[in-house]
Amino acid sequence: MTHWTNMIVGRLAQTALVALTLVTMCFVFVHTLPGDTALRIAEARGGSEFLNVGKAREIAAEEGLDRPILLQYGEWIERIATGDLGMSLVTRQPVASELWNRGQNTLILGIAGWLASYLVALPIGIYAALRPHGWVDKISSFYCVTMASLPSFLMGIGLISIFALSLRWLPPAGFRSWEHLILPAATLALGLSAFSIRLIRDTVREVNGAFFITFARTKGLTASAALRENGSRNAAIPIVAFAALQFAAVVDGFIMIETLFNFPGLGDLLVSSMLSRDVPMVMGAGLVAAVGYGLVNLAADLASLALDPRLSQRGQ
């Protein structure tokens, strides 16, 4: 097999192993939470009027929650092998359809925040690299240190306080129009750009100091032209790999942002499912997160392989 095939097969096998490990951890975690699972499900279905032992026993018998834990786990794994994620214990809707509906919102938010971060990071990072120790480089360094030290929920609270509560320019929560996307996407973008600006700046500066760039400069090319014509591919390799990993982290780290902004995505669904002990939904969300992270990592590896001429020749 070629290097490309070996990489794809290896990454897919790794993704499957990680997914199995993560859903197993989700299953164990939900069942170790304090409180009766059937009682929590009863409350989630019908409110406080369903919060009684009789209803809980009825749901436990109906859903098979009174069976041994290992038997429940084994049956879920068996269904997964056939592509069936089961039914939600709370809504009685297919888990796959619920995840699809919420996952689209998470993907929209992730792409918006990720793209916004690189619309800011690329020009600033490249400019700072071409003019080291200039005012842009110094201001961007201060910005990166400040943003990197702030937790995402503090940035989100600050944006809500300024633009939603004080200025009343934007809605603070929910997702009913594109305006509801601005604040959570901006929170993501601020956190991501703090790391990507420095990586872009350091990578471009390192490539700009390489011999082939110096040689191009001796032929009369400007610094930006030499970098664009001779060094852009070399600089793109670590930047593309890091960008892909950041996007994977966004898709996986959606819980804090979505909870803060009451955004109806996978993170919000996962939190509510954990509280209501909706085991199939929790395990389904964990599976989607693990598979999504693995596929984005695979895309990053393939992009690096395609950009690096040494690796692409070896993979022929």
Claim to verify: residue 255 and residue 190 sit in the same structural domain:
yes
User: Are 16 and 117 members of one domain?
Assistant: no
Q: What is the pLDDT of residue 25?
A: 87
Domain check: are 60 and 25 in the same one? yes
Closest CA to 67 of 96, 99, 38, 32: 38
* Domain match, 211 and 274 both: yes
Q: Within this chain, do residues 295 and 164 fall inside the same structural domain, yes or no?
A: yes
Give how many domains the chain has, as a whole number.
2
In a domain, 86, yes or no: no
pLDDT, position 315: 47
Cα gap 121→190, rounded to integer Å: 10
In three-state secondary structure terms, 151 is: coil
| Beta carbons of 113 and 261 less than 8 angstroms apart | no
189 and 60 together in one domain: no
281 belongs to a structural domain: yes
- Assign residue 203 the CATH number of its domain: 1.10.3720.10
AA letter at 272: S
Tens of pLDDT, residue by residue, the chain (316 residues): 566 777 788 888 888 888 888 888 888 888 887 777 888 888 887 766 666 777 778 888 888 888 888 888 888 888 888 888 888 888 888 998 989 988 888 889 988 999 999 999 999 998 888 888 889 999 999 999 888 888 888 888 999 999 999 988 999 888 888 899 999 999 989 888 988 998 888 888 877 666 555 555 566 556 566 555 555 666 667 777 778 777 766 765 567 888 889 888 888 888 888 888 888 898 888 888 888 888 888 887 777 777 665 554 444 4
pLDDT on residue 209: 62
Q: Give the list of residues 6+ apart from residue 96 with CB closer than 8 angstroms, or none.
A: 85, 284
Tell me how crowded residue 74 is: count the other CB atoms within 10 A of its CB.
11
- The token duo for 4 is 């490309």
**Residues 88, 92, 95, CA angle at the centre, nearest 5°?**
35
Here the contacts of 207-213 (C-beta below 8 Å, separation 24 or greater) are 207/231, 207/234, 207/235, 208/129, 208/130, 210/234
CB atoms within 10 A of CB 283: 25
In a domain, 89, yes or no: no
Distance, in Å, from the CA atom of 293 to the CA atom of 290, rounded to the nearest integer, reads: 5
Domain encompassing residue 13: 3-81
Task: Single out the residue in 31, 56, 81 at which a domain terminates.
Answer: 81
Where would I find the H helices in the chain? 3-32, 37-46, 53-63, 69-81, 95-130, 135-149, 152-159, 179-208, 211-218, 223-226, 232-252, 255-260, 266-276, 279-307, 309-314
* pLDDT tens digits for range 58-86: 888 888 888 888 888 888 888 888 888 88
Name residue 58's amino acid.
E
Cα(91)–Cα(55) distance, rounded to whole angstroms?
16
Predicted confidence at residue 294, as pLDDT, reads 84
Instruction: Describe the crossing of helices 152-159 and 179-208 by its angle, rounded to 10 degrees.
Output: 130
The answer to whether the Cα torsion of 150, 153, 159, 165 is positive or negative is negative
In terms of domains, do 154 and 266 share one?
yes
Looking at the structure, tell me whether residues 165 and 230 fall in a common domain: yes
Say how far apart CA 214 and CA 191 lie, in whole Å.
Answer: 34
Classify residue 87 by its DSSP letter. Answer: B
The token pair at 242 is 């890091």
> Residue 94, SS3?
strand
- Asked whether residue 208 falls in the same domain as residue 261, the answer is yes
Do 39 and 118 fall into the same domain?
no
